[in-house]
Amino acid sequence: MGQQAINPEQIPKTQKAAVVRDKKVAIETVPVVQPSELKVGEALVKVLYSGVCHTDLHAQLGDWPLVHKEPLIGGHEGAGIVVAIGEHTDTDLKIGDRVGIKWLADSCLKCDYCRQGYEPLCHQALCSGFSVDGSFQQYAVSFARHLTKIPESLPMDKAAPILCAGVTVYKALKQSNARAGEWVVIPGAGGGLGHLAIQYALYMGLRVIAIDTGAQKQALCTKLGAERWIDFRETDDIVKAVKAATPDGDGPHAAIVTSAVGAAYEQALEYVRPHGTVVSVGLPPDAKVSADVFWTTFLEKQLKGSYVGNRQDAVEALDIAASGRVETTYTTLPFAKLPEVYGQMHDGSLVGRVVLDLWA
């Protein structure tokens, strides 16, 4: 029996989960890890909602040069309730706490990287929905020290996409070093990460150029406060269009590239202004960034990778969302719709985020 648990009778023996095998996903009935089976440091979370991130689709399709567990339960934007905690776990968490399961499921907290707050770079990092089962299941085991408390005033469905998309773009914007009054361009602005990036950028006092495609994404980006819109399908010369979108024609101070397709990276180092920074966030398969050495050096341009965020970034990103200054645009769908969601994500027709209701 776990150190703390709600009445174990209330925890069922089986549950619904989205299981990936051989690059295909299916909703199956699988066992629930019981409180008595939890190891030190683990917590059992009743997942209420989970956002669907493009990373989940990359994982299913085997897009990356990394190996995931198989069979795999995906999902890493899980908002839920703690229902049990492993015996002898040193934690402030209590049964009933509202918590978020993030991509970074665990890290050692002792190594050089963890000590400096670079927790995602820890050699022992575990990733929800990749190296350990994630939030596309009704009861997920996660690690108490990396669960993030969700502020009381933030509804669980709205909180879910902040746990990856929100944290990631918030941290990426910090990495860009762009300051209030400066311009940032966001390729992929109408997607899950991008539409939150617009809002965190505005929160930081930045001015936004959105790049994506289609009337629906244009309407969303404009509604959220992007001052300029560039449709990548209808624009022949993206570099010229991005530079022209800034008042002095020199281009934005930073680019936060959140597209899941490599093409969005091709010109990013060309259109940022001298001393500008390109922050690489989207993780398209087999993509390359090519940079002209002369101009990159001569104009002091920078390219930075930015990979999710640490525990503090998560707390800050959730607090800002709880303040109402950043709000996810999402469609809530029943759990069983996950395969269809992946189809729409693949063809680029999803606007904003989809949040799955694990119990619908």
Query: For ligand 8ID, which residue of 3, 69, 204, 232 counts as binding (CB under 6 A)?
Result: 232
Specify the residue, 162 or 164, whose C-beta has the smaller distance to ligand 8ID: 164
Query: For ligand 8ID, which residue of 258, 277, 310, 328 counts as binding (CB under 6 A)?
Result: 258
> Is 350 one of the binding residues for ligand 8ID (CB under 6 A)?
yes
Query: What is the helix (H) or strand (E) element at residue 15, kind and residue range?
Result: strand 14-21
Structure tokens at 341: 């969601």
> Is 53 one of the binding residues for Zn ion (CB under 5 A)?
yes
Query: For Zn ion, which residue of 55, 258, 306, 328 counts as binding (CB under 5 A)?
Result: 55
Query: For ligand 8ID, which residue of 5, 19, 58, 277 counts as binding (CB under 6 A)?
Result: 58
Contacted by 27, from ligand 8ID, Zn ion, none: CB < 5 to 8 Å by type: none
* Structural contact between residues 84 and 5, judged by C-beta atoms closer than 8 angstroms: yes
* Structural contact between residues 19 and 32, judged by C-beta atoms closer than 8 angstroms: no
> Is 338 one of the binding residues for ligand 8ID (CB under 6 A)?
no
* Structural contact between residues 161 and 331, judged by C-beta atoms closer than 8 angstroms: no
Query: What is the helix (H) or strand (E) element at residue 170, kind and residue range?
Result: helix 165-176
Q: What does the alpha-carbon distance between residue 217 and residue 220 come to, in Å, rounded to a whole number?
A: 5
Contacted by 281, from ligand 8ID, Zn ion, none: CB < 5 to 8 Å by type: ligand 8ID
Across 210-246, b (16+ Cβ under 10 Å) vs e yields: bbbeeeebbebbeebebebbbbbeeeeebeebbbebb
Listed ranges 143-151, 162-170, 291-299, 335-343: which one lies at the site for ligand 8ID (CB under 6 A): 162-170
Contact positions vs ligand 8ID (CB under 6 A): 53-55, 58, 164-165, 168, 187-188, 190-194, 211-213, 217, 232, 258-261, 263-264, 281-284, 306-308, 345, 348, 350
